[in-house]
Amino acid sequence: MEPSAPLQLDHLPDAPASPTAPAETGLRRTMGPRHLIMIAMGGVIGSGLFLSSGYTISQAGPLGAVLAYLVGAFVVYLVMACLGELAIAYPVSGAFHIYAARSIGPATGFTTAWLYWLCWAVAIGSEFTASGLLMQRWFPGVEVWVWCVVFAAILFGLNAVSSRFFGESEFWFSIVKVGAIIALIVLGGAALVGFQPLSESANHPFLFENFNTSGGLFPNGFSGVLVTALAVFYAFSGSELIGVAAGETTDPARNIPKAMRSTVVRLLIFFVGAIAVIAATVPFDQVGLDESPFVTVFSSVGIPYAADIMNFVIITALLSAGNSGLFSCARMLYSLSDEGHAPKALKRLTRRGIPLVALSVSMLGGLASLISSVVAPETVYLALVSVAGFAVVGVWMSITASHFFHRRAFIRNGGQVADLAYKAPLFPLVPILAFTLCLVSLVGIAFDPNQVAALYFGIPFVAACYIYFHFMHGRRATKQIA
């Protein structure tokens, strides 16, 4: 069966699409809620938790880190609530920028798309490099670039077959990561109450005695919690991938809200639970200095070969995040082309409904990021990484603002809130609160010399996107909207 015609921006309905309406996108609707949940989990659970969580604990202190991740989970809930209503109203693939283009303006949609594409393109390159470095633990004689090529070929193949095949691969990738987190919470939690049959050590801290540090509950002051907000939000990035995959989901009106609720609950349990166990086990001034906090905890409870086990888990986590990132990048380019804001070739689909040209360009973007990390780490790559960190919060702000203006326009045009297949609660408090908290996190990083580059490069990048759109697409976009 030939794919149906892609959905055009100027054909989007003023009211939300009927939940029973047929798919209007050339991409195939083959993924169910199980795939959506694991795609979101796969995008979220990566190096941010397994490697970088030590930074958050060392900066914010044990209690501060737990609070920071609780705030992060709360913001994810707010953003997902807004995203749920938008994703069902406009269930198209790579949809973030379409929400913004429709509700705010085409220039904002264009900027949102390129922010998110660059975020994941940089992530893909980083995942390949980190995975190659970790493989040298077992294969020290094999160059890192060889593993980068191997992993790039694997992820490209997983994405090029079909969206369902991608969803299945991400499901099994995520199972490995989730298993490691559950093991950490169960075994680490048991050790904290004195039950550790695998270890003869008697020096394991009891419950939360590590939380009372020599500097008090907040050894670096409450400002330490504030400056880690962006790092925490970045750790939760990927939850919004459910919106990217909306156009390839069966029965979006039922499956998207179900997947979003499950994702938020699981992230809350896994992230906050893991951080609480790590912070309670390892002194905050020692965590993450020379190894993954997971390795430290597993070693302390007596898990044999803890470093090798976690090396495998972290490689799986990195490849899983790269897998989700490549999927996201390709759908963003496809959607931009669908609107006429990128070359038409990016909209070409295979017989299985895969945007292969967009997928190939995204892979090249990831490889370019990888090369820049070697050739120009202090200039080009620094700028790319900074924009990527800035992009996550920028996209969340775009989603929440889009929901605010979408709901207002829907009601102004005579729509009834009761008729919505899914509606975010407590409007307009939810989008306003989410937008404000994201904005506060951006202000907070201005006081952290380790993260302030995100503002130096992120704000000019956003300005450049608006200026480029104005001169290249501005007049035509204005005519379409009119």
pLDDT for the residue 40: 67
* Amino acid identity for residue 49 in this structure: L
Whether residue 5 is contained in a domain is answered as: no
Whether residue 62 is contained in a domain is answered as: yes
Whether residue 12 is contained in a domain is answered as: no
Rounded to whole angstroms, the Cα distance separating 384 from 315 reads: 22
The boundaries of the domain holding residue 283 are 29-475
Q: What are phi and psi of 379, to 5 degrees?
A: -125, -80
Whether residue 243 is contained in a domain is answered as: yes
pLDDT for the residue 290: 59
Which residue is listed with tokens 């963003």? 332
- 301 close to 285: Cβ distance less than 8 angstroms: no
Whether residue 10 is contained in a domain is answered as: no
Whether residue 229 is contained in a domain is answered as: yes
pLDDT for the residue 30: 52
The CATH number of residue 254's host domain is 1.20.1740.10
Looking at the structure of the chain, the number of domains it has is 1
Whether residue 19 is contained in a domain is answered as: no
Question: Which is more confidently placed, 47 or 380?
Answer: 380
Residue 309 has pLDDT above 60, yes or no: yes
Residue 9: pLDDT band with limits 50, 70, 90: very low
The two three-digit tokens of residue 415, written as one number: 């729509």
Beta bridge partners of 216: 213
Rounded to whole angstroms, the Cα distance separating 86 from 91 reads: 8
Length of the chain in terms of residues written: 482
For residue 160, CA distances in Å to 47, 164, 244, 310, 330 come to 25, 11, 17, 29, 10
pLDDT tens profile 411-456: 998 888 888 888 888 899 999 999 999 898 888 778 777 778 888 8
- DSSP-derived secondary structure letter, 97: H
Whether residue 206 is contained in a domain is answered as: yes
Average pLDDT over residues 364-388: 79
Residue 15: pLDDT band with limits 50, 70, 90: very low
Nearest to 240 by CA among 325, 162, 360, 302: 325
